[in-house]
Amino acid sequence: MNFLKNHKKFIIPIVSVLCLFMISFSLNRAEPTFFESGIGYILTPVQEFNTSVIDWITSKFNALSNINEIESENEKLKEEVYSLQMEIDRLKLVEAENKKLSEVLKIDQKYSDYPKVGARIIAKDTSNWYDVFLIDKGSNDGIKKNMVVIASGGLVGKVSETGFNYAKVVSIIDDTDSVGAKSLRTDDIGFVRGDFENRGMCKMEYVDNDAEIMAGDEIVTSHLSDIYPPGITIGYVKDIKTDENTLTKCALISPTVDFKHLETVLVITENFKKNIK
Amino acid sequence: MRYFVTAVIIILNFIIQSTFLHSIEIINVIPNTGIIIVVSFAFMRGEYEGSAVGFAIGILQDIFFGQYIGMNALLSMLTGYFCGKFYVDFFTENFLIPLLMTSVSTFVYGFVFYVLNILLFGYTDVLYFLSNIILPETAYTSLFSVFLYKLFYIINEKLEKRETVKRKLF
């Protein structure tokens, strides 16, 4: 401790250089270290608990406010309305659950050939720049790096890191990864990546200048993709521009998945990454 | 005791920031409560404690959500260091200076983060990012820091009282 106190002035520069080293080493790291996944192992259950608490509070709050409204309106029929409201709330919950489940079922039928596992989102990025999130399934449940994550609307992203009981998912609206894609109607091929300058949107780059792609076309993952299976919906074309630098077309795509209100996702537990030696 | 309380604050903040805060986001922006803690500790305890707290908060963010390990750690450590420089110049009872410092730090932090992580990917529309992410984040964080600094001030006061009592015993 005395040594640290005597050399106080050197601590900040040394740690700064250490940070720079770590940044350069982590530019292409494959797996989280033991230290990282250890911290994750401890913290993830707490985050999981927190997210359930938020859900619980929101559901209770909604139920309570409903009851209060009816109480003020019908003083006399309080008891009756109370019981009826309880019933309605219960049915509403069942209805919502039914809707959600049938949505999941629909997507299940669409991409039925791939084995999947459902997961809940437990924590989201603390910065305002990226849309990285954690799910409550990890290597313990057979999740591996580069597995594809989908939701009821379509493609969400891919798993970029796995801990024992959590996994980190990078979404397609982040410009950290690109997906091989094609337009379903015209079979034009391009690359889809997130667009930081239009938050929540994607852009499809390097589309051939003669391509007959137009607004409203459905964009799906192509067979040329390295880790993504073909045929998963990404989104719909909103606008098309010509890139002055490369003289190719660039399409703005609005993703079908609602990233703001995403709660549950499905992970395709099959690794499509081809092993080329 | 001080180490324990600080560690609890840091971990609790990380958990709240990644779960609860997302349900109160305004125009897609959440307040950066991490930087409030860094600034508060730096302002109340000096540059070395500030940078230690900054490093801990940054490395936690990097491990879970970071693109590169060390980026947030470096930035928030330097934030703590520079804010701690004001420790000798002001009384900690002053609530206006930390508010101002939080605003400036959040803005500078956001701008440097943009330059290092986003600008280098080819997104040159600075005004879009200023008006959509950096400035709203600064405003929201400043609003939060009014309450949070008072909270940390009370906690620090209690801890310091405890420490002086202990010293008097011997």
Q: pLDDT grade, residue B103 (50/70/90)?
A: very high
pLDDT in tens, A94-128: 887 777 777 766 655 555 567 888 888 888 888 88
The three-class DSSP label of residue B120 is: helix
Question: Would you list the domain boundaries of chain A?
Answer: 178-258
pLDDT for A277 equals 40
What is the dihedral angle through the alpha carbons of B30, B34, B35, B40, rounded to the nearest 10 degrees?
Answer: 130
The three-class DSSP label of residue B3 is: helix
Q: Answer with the residue of higher pLDDT: B30 or A43.
A: B30
Min Cα separation B169/chain A (Å) = 23
Mutate to test the interface with A, among B3, B10, B17, B19 (most CBs of A within 10 A): B19
DSSP label at residue B67: S
Mean confidence (pLDDT) of chain A: 80
On whether residue B167 sits in a domain, the answer given is no
Domain count, chain B: 1
Q: What is the CATH number of domain A178-258?
A: 2.40.10.350
Q: Cβ B117–A129 below 8 Å, yes or no?
A: yes
Nearest CA in chain A to B132: A199
Q: pLDDT grade, residue A222 (50/70/90)?
A: confident
- Among A26, A39, A46, whose Cβ lies nearest the Cβ of B68? A26
- For residue A163, what are its two tokens? 């801990």
pTM listed for this prediction: 0.76
Q: Sign of the C-alpha dihedral, residues A25, A30, A31, A32?
A: positive
Weakest-pLDDT range from A6-20, A63-77, A253-267, B149-163? A63-77
Query: Strand A233-242 to strand A167-171: parallel, antiparallel, or no bridges (unpaired)?
Result: unpaired
Weakest-pLDDT range from A69-73, A161-165, A272-276, B65-69? A272-276
Residues in A lying within 8 Å of B, measured between beta carbons: 8, 11-12, 15-16, 18-23, 25-27, 29, 32, 36, 39-40, 43, 46-47, 50-51, 54, 58, 122-130, 132, 134, 168, 175-176, 196-197, 199-200, 260
Instruction: Let me know if B71 is exposed, middle or buried by CB neighbors in 10 A (0-12, 13-18, 19+).
Output: buried
- Domain containing B51 equals 2-22+32-160
Mean pLDDT of the region A156-182: 86
Mean confidence (pLDDT) of chain B: 87
Q: Which residues contact B56 (CB under 8 A, 6 or more apart)?
A: B7, B10
Q: Cβ B69–A29 below 8 Å, yes or no?
A: yes
CA atoms within 13 A on the CB side of A194: 21
Residue B164, chain A, CB below 8 Å: the answer is no
Distances (CA, A) of A121 to A39, A85, A155, B92: 18, 31, 15, 40
Residues 71-100 of B with CB under 8 A from A: 71-74, 77-78, 81
pLDDT at B108 over 90: yes
pLDDT in tens, B36-82: 999 999 988 888 888 899 999 998 888 888 778 888 899 999 999 98
On whether residue B84 sits in a domain, the answer given is yes
Min Cα separation A173/chain B (Å) = 14
Determine contact, residues A226/A191, Cβ cutoff 8 Å: no
